[in-house]
Amino acid sequence: MLCGDCGIEGSGMHRGTLLLLAALPGSFAAAFPNCGEPPLQPASNAVDSAAAVVGEETELLCVRQGLEGHVMFWQGDFMPPGSTGTITPVEREICIHEPTRLSDVSPVGNTPFYSEIRSTLVARRRSDAAGWFRVALPPGVYSMFVREGELFYANGFSGEYIYPVTVARHRWTLVRFDITYLATF
């Protein structure tokens, strides 16, 4: 049987595309209309942390796009000729915000760390021990940060935004978030 909303087969693969999401206001809820499939019990790692952040009633929705990838921690010397550094997948809290400018954060000196982010938090997700994460999002541009202790970390800019990532309709955007503050290049 095909899902009437997304056209995905109702067994096997469809289970992998269902996530438990918070009933969020505005465009988020509109971006993921209920597909009409009978509720399936998602795996515990498929529970989107937006539900925990918002704390409202939840429902199963058919998810078609968002961000997925790995968080990697770089440590040591990566200078040629014989780099001795290590790159390790890590568990971290990932914070997805509306597009964030430098004027929306409180930087910690001249570093890629921030003590406060004033743009709207859209979703939170924790990467697993293999560094893997997946978070459903409506199409759009977002800024991505990870928590390092009490601070937020993002080491990239593009144009006017801090670590921008783009989610396209019906696509999972692959992201490799590198934490490099203990690496030498």
Buried b (16+ CB within 10 A) or exposed e, 82-112: eeeeeeeebebbbbbbebbeeebbeeeeeeb
Total number of domains constituting the chain: 2
Q: How many helices (H) and strands (E) does the chain have?
A: 3, 15
Does 6 have pLDDT greater than 60? no
Banded model confidence at residue 153, pLDDT cuts 50, 70, 90 = very high
* Average pLDDT of every residue of the chain: 77
Predicted pLDDT of residue 62: 59
Predicted pLDDT of residue 63: 62
6 contact partners, CB below 8 Å, separation of at least 6: 17, 35, 62, 64
The answer to whether residues 142 and 81 belong to one domain is yes
Predicted pLDDT of residue 95: 98
Q: State the residue range of the domain holding 88.
A: 67-184
The answer to whether residues 21 and 81 belong to one domain is no
The whole-number average pLDDT for the span 171-181 is 97
Predicted pLDDT of residue 81: 87
The answer to whether residues 75 and 105 belong to one domain is yes
The answer to whether residues 73 and 85 belong to one domain is yes
The answer to whether residues 138 and 81 belong to one domain is yes
Predicted pLDDT of residue 172: 96
Predicted pLDDT of residue 83: 86
Q: Which of 14-23, 43-52, 55-64, 92-101 has the highest average model confidence (pLDDT)?
A: 92-101
Q: Using one digit for the tens of pLDDT, what is the confidence trace for 32-70?
A: 444 443 333 333 333 343 333 334 444 444 568 999 999
Among candidates 32, 12, 14, 13, which has minimal Cα distance to 22?
32
The answer to whether residues 87 and 157 belong to one domain is yes
pTM of the model: 0.68
Predicted pLDDT of residue 159: 87
Length of the chain: 185
